[in-house]
Structure 1
């Protein structure tokens, strides 16, 4: 297991800054908004679309940094599942947006595996 030091800083910035902003926004919410956010994050719709995309990308990047091919492939598979579910979910509402998800997913997988 080799840790790529040149990839640690971008990884920490890419994941750390948004997490800090989200946490700061969550702390500023009142109790009703906090319960609404918790409830919406626990829905299967959120978990299988946005959740799988975020978790898959995180795991794939972590596998990339740690130079563990198995972890990277697991993250890529989760990312693909999230992309397929998001595409199917968006299809009735917007055909153009639903076709952009596989395009962005293909680009992300290309850069993750190169």
Structure 2
């Protein structure tokens, strides 16, 4: 399953080549902290039951899925690949990895 590290993602964002970000956490988690750049918000549960697949239709391999630690986003990448054939990437370490490596001022949860 393809992944991307926080530093590589930050470099893409800083260079103006930000990929589409897909936040697969719950709305309550999103209220605590999110990565810069917005993106698509679809709970991994919606990808599991298929109702969230239209939200990610049209994405390509440059898209980056993320969650708190990387586990749910890895599952989401697999679900999307199985349903659409698109092999997007998962943010290695998720939001916590981003906080640890890029922006420690963000709240941890």
TM-score (norm 1): 0.30
Relative to its length, the structure with more strand (as a share) is 2
**Greater relative contact order, per chain length (Cα 8 Å cut-off, separation 6+):** 2
TM-score (norm 2): 0.31
Larger Rg: 1
Relative to its length, the structure with more helix (as a share) is 1
